[in-house]
Amino acid sequence: MALGLTYATSHTLVRMRLSSFRHALKDQNRVSWIGAGAFCGLVLAGGTIWVAARGDNDGLVVALGIWMLGWVVGPLFAGGGDETLKPEYFSMLPLPPRTLSTGLLVAAVAGVAPVISLVALLSLVVAGAQLSVAAALIALPALVLQLFCFILASRLAVAVYGVLLQVRSGAVLAAVVNAFILAFAAQGWALIVAYVSTDVQGTVATAARIAPSGWGLAAVEAAGRGDWLEALLPLVGLVLLAAVMLIAWSALLVRRTTASHMSHKVRRPLSADGPSSAAAAKELRSWTRDLLYGHKAVFAVSYGLFFCMMPLALKATYMLPWAGPAAVIMAGAMASNLYGADGTALWTTLMTPGSAGPDVRARQRAFLLVFGPLTVLITVLFTWWAGDAGAWPLVLSVLPALLGGAAGLIVACSVWAAVPTTDAHKRSGNPLNSGENEGETMGLVYVMLVLVSVSAAPALVAALYWSWWGVPIGLLSGVLAWWYLGRLAINRLEQRGPELLTLLRHGRTVEEAKKKAQYESIPRWKRTLAGFCLGFAAIPLFPQALVPAIFLLTGNADTKSWFLALYVANPLRWLVIAGMAVLGLGMYAYGGLTYYNARKVSPAEAG
């Protein structure tokens, strides 16, 4: 009876998952992202099979460990992963927890990512075929069990992460992990170079064999030697591990769908002597009490630290002075949707006459109080640690410009380009998932990364040419950006506040939906290329053009790192920098003009 119920549940959930996937294919934008992700995944899977074909089992076991690590940490950084079928949807059905979790697990196999991982795991068959026919046959159950362990580890990690985000210490830990993942994606080359240039490869391969991701290969190698006991033990271990993870995931699903997350702790009431101080107190409490706010704050600061400290693996200290500015840039990007995060709570502000000004200024002051003192302290300590006297005027000029620019841009962007998200009181048991507009939210973050960085351009140029005179220019530009952009946000909120509330409550209007259809009228290949340009234009523009230009101007050209311009002869360095700058700006221009021209398409032509 229980087995029949599990089969029926799994069959139904798989059909629901496939139906949802077919529906997603009608959205050309999602198709583009799915296609690009599938292509990159297949390239990596092909590389894994190539490593196996070379007979490099040490390299293969490390590659499989990276695949499992990707399954675990990928969803943590990508908004909680693909939760097309949320457990909350089935909480009212009389299904035992393990029946539901088993059905969701089987349904999770019906996706693009599991298929790509299955292709990568075919490397076990390739490795086994080089040993013996028996080893190739053992590889078949091994790859199936390995795939289910990958998926279960991913689901369990998301569930544990969701639990952590519901307590303050857990939110801090989760933010640090996420920050390391993103910093490694940008600066992990330093750790990789340090790894390749030392004698730790064998140690890493040994550790990868001990990890569950290496058990399948251990079974294949044992079968190749004819040691059947050692071949069966890893397979039994994978079965037991999958069972334990399934039981743990089932328990967490029960907690997620039944537990109440309301806090009954008595809080100290707000005390204020006016609208401005009341709004400021409210905003400060949001940063310290709302776990997602705190998660973003810790994430931004941790990212700045990890991003600038990873080159220390190569004994390079040139990035240390920029840890504070990097944290401010990321903090501005993470806070780019303040009003969208408030959701329908905005009505309390709109219903209070004259509250727009105090509310906007309070958000700006809270941002500066949360990130200002900390980033100043980090900048001073890390610049002193680096021991580079020439970096002092640069970072002390850029930091106040970035703080003021970010404080102005976050409120202006929140008012003009708010993205509807799930209201705080309607968040699911997976706090990573903020609604159906994850793509728009991430797009807003990317745009803010560029805008906040550009806000420091005048101060940086002044510091490069006039040294310490850049400091007052940085202070002046920061104050002007804080005041002027805040004033624009206040005027916008006073004039268009009801429209903003309607957007946050009901989503896009008919006119806005037509505008989206206009964007979708762009040919798929052109839209994909434009998205690629907007997503990767920062690589040639900043690390390959701006950073080496700063190094040349400050006399740090010996720090070559991964900056292409510093590896060519001196007369050609500025040509390479100019070429990279033109390439980056051209990519931004192409992506921006592609979407700008789509606005000229009539609604009738857009369909």
Predicted confidence (pLDDT) per residue in 454-503, tens digit: 899 999 999 988 889 999 999 999 999 999 999 999 999 888 888 888 87
Do 361 and 475 belong together in one domain?
A: yes
Give residue 421's region: left, alpha or beta (phi > 0; psi -120 to 50): beta
Residue 265 lies in a domain: no
| Domain termination site, one of 258, 287, 309 | 258
Q: What number is the average pLDDT over the span 99-123?
A: 85
Task: Assess whether 149 and 15 both reside in one domain.
Answer: yes
264 in any annotated domain: no
Are the CB atoms for 142 and 220 separated by under 8 Å?
Answer: yes
How far is the C-alpha of 64 from the C-alpha of 238, rounded, in Å? 14
- When pLDDT is cut at 50, 70 and 90, the band that residue 241 belongs to is very high
Residue at a domain's end among 224, 258, 292: 258
* Residue 98: φ, ψ to 5°: -75, -30
Residue 166 φ then ψ, to 5°: -95, 0
Are 209 and 95 members of one domain? yes
Of the chain, the percentage scoring pLDDT greater than 90 comes to 25
User: Given pLDDT bands bounded at 50, 70 and 90, which one contains residue 551?
Assistant: confident
Domain annotation covers residue 422: yes
159 occurs within a structural domain: yes
Q: What is the pTM of this model?
A: 0.67
Most confident of 61-70, 160-169, 468-477: 468-477
The one-character DSSP state at 564 is G
> Rg (Cα) of the chain, in Å, rounded?
26
Q: Give the pLDDT of residue 559.
A: 58
pLDDT of residue 603: 46
**Is the pLDDT reported for residue 264 higher than 60?**
no
Q: Which residue has the tokens 């002869």?
A: 569
Q: Is pLDDT of 195 > 70?
A: no
Are residues 190 and 140 both part of a single domain? yes
* 353 and 222 within one domain: no
Residue 86 lies in a domain: yes
Task: Select from 202, 226, 258 the last residue of a domain.
Answer: 258
Residues 226 and 288 in one domain: no
Query: How far is it, in rounded angstroms, from Cα 474 to Cα 398?
Result: 6
- 165: pLDDT strictly greater than 70: no
The predicted structure's pLDDT at residue 602: 47
- Looking at the fold, whether 90 and 226 belong to one and the same domain comes out as yes
The chain-wide mean pLDDT, for the chain, equals: 80
Report the C-alpha gap between 447 and 246 in whole angstroms. Answer: 40
Mean of pLDDT values over 324-331: 93
Q: Which residue has the tokens 């199936």?
A: 144
3-state secondary structure 288-311: HHCHHHHHHHHHHHHHHHHHHHHH
Whether 503 and 541 map to the same domain: the answer is no
Instruction: Examine residue 512 and state whether it is found in any structural domain, yes or no.
Output: no
Q: How far apart are CA 405 and CA 403, in angstroms?
A: 6
Strands (E), 35-147: none
- pLDDT attached to residue 323: 93
Nearest to 593 by CA among 511, 537, 509: 537
The verdict on 219 and 288 lying in the same domain is no
For the chain, the domain total comes to 3
Euclidean distance between CA atoms 381 and 404, whole angstroms? 21
Note the pLDDT of residue 482: 94
- Residue 287 within a domain: yes
Q: Which two tokens stand for residue 551?
A: 């190094």
| Interacting residues of 357 by C-beta distance below 8 A, sequence separation 6+ | 490
Looking at residue 598, its pLDDT comes to 67
Which structural domain range is residue 50 located in?
2-258
Dist CA 93 CA 76 (whole Å): 28
Could you tell me if residue 266 is inside a domain?
Answer: no
Kindly tell me the sign of the dihedral angle through the C-alpha atoms of 288, 292, 293, 297. Answer: positive
Whose structure tokens read 């969803």? 75
pLDDT in tens, 524-548: 677 778 877 876 787 787 778 877 8
Longest dimension (CA), the chain: 81
Residues 478 and 414 in one domain: yes
Residues 214, 98: one domain?
A: yes
For residues 200 and 342, state if they share a domain.
Answer: no
Helical segments of 387-456, H only: 391-416, 438-454
